[in-house]
């Protein structure tokens, strides 16, 4: 009895179908890996020089940075918001639609404090005043008012944090890794 091989066109169809199935499986696997990464990336832990840890909400996209902490009633002492920019530059902040005072820390690419504004009050009347650093910064950390004094934060102090941002957060992917002291 002679074994019959399928026709060449049947073999090609099977090969293409198998190839497509493998490709689809790879794409689905990649997507399932990205979802937890993005979910984990919404908040990160920032460690201050005295060891105090703050859970910071990330503001990475233009929309997130514009909204910031607007309209929120309060923020706990161990909470904050970390604004992330792709490059170091002079980034001005204002307190429009804020309901409580904040301490603002501008950080360079190495997570060192380059400028501090303490006890910045909510904007009472427009036009709202702007607060900007004296040196370029890549990150801005907003903390509850009084944090700078309580944790003895000063220019040159380095904050510890690690973040890994995917394209889902903004236009480009970038990562920032805290180097050892």
CA angle 122, 48, 137 (to 5 degrees): 60
In the predicted model, residues of the chain with pLDDT beneath 70 are: 1-41, 165-181
**How far apart, in whole angstroms, are the C-alpha atoms of residue 31 and residue 137?**
33
**How far apart, in whole angstroms, are the C-alpha atoms of residue 35 and residue 33?**
6
CB atoms within 10 A of CB 44: 18
CATH class of 41-177: mainly beta
**How far apart, in whole angstroms, are the C-alpha atoms of residue 126 and residue 72?**
19
What percent of the chain is helix, strand and coil (3-state, nearest 5)? Answer: 25, 30, 45
**What pLDDT score does 21 carry?**
43
**What pLDDT score does 9 carry?**
59
**What pLDDT score does 169 carry?**
46
**What pLDDT score does 18 carry?**
52
**What pLDDT score does 13 carry?**
57
Task: Please tell me whether residue 142 adopts helix, strand or coil conformation.
Answer: strand
Query: Residue 159 burial (CB < 10 Å; 0-12/13-18/19+)?
Result: buried
**How far apart, in whole angstroms, are the C-alpha atoms of residue 48 and residue 26?**
40
**What pLDDT score does 69 carry?**
81
Q: What is the pLDDT of residues 40-60, one digit of tens each?
A: 459 999 999 999 999 999 999
pTM above the 0.75 mark? no
């Amino acid at each position: 009895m002679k074994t019959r091989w399928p026709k060449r066109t049947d073999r090609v169809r099977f090969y293409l179908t198998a190839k497509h199935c493998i490709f689809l499986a790879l794409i689905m696997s990649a997507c399932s890996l990205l979802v937890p990464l993005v979910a984990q990336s919404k908040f990160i832990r920032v460690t201050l020089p005295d060891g105090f840890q703050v859970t910071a909400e990330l503001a990475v996209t233009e929309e997130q940075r514009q909204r910031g902490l607007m309209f929120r009633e309060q923020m706990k002492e161990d909470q904050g918001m970390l604004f992330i920019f792709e490059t170091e530059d002079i980034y001005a902040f204002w307190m429009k639609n804020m309901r409580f005072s904040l301490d603002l820390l501008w950080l360079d690419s190495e997570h060192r404090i380059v400028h501090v504004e303490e006890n910045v009050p909510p904007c009472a009347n427009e036009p709202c005043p702007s607060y900007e650093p004296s040196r370029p910064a890549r990150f801005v950390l907003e903390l509850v008012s009084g944090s700078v004094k309580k944790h003895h934060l000063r220019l040159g102090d380095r904050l510890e944090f690690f973040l890994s941002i995917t394209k889902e957060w903004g236009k480009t992917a970038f990562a920032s890794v805290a180097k050892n002291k």
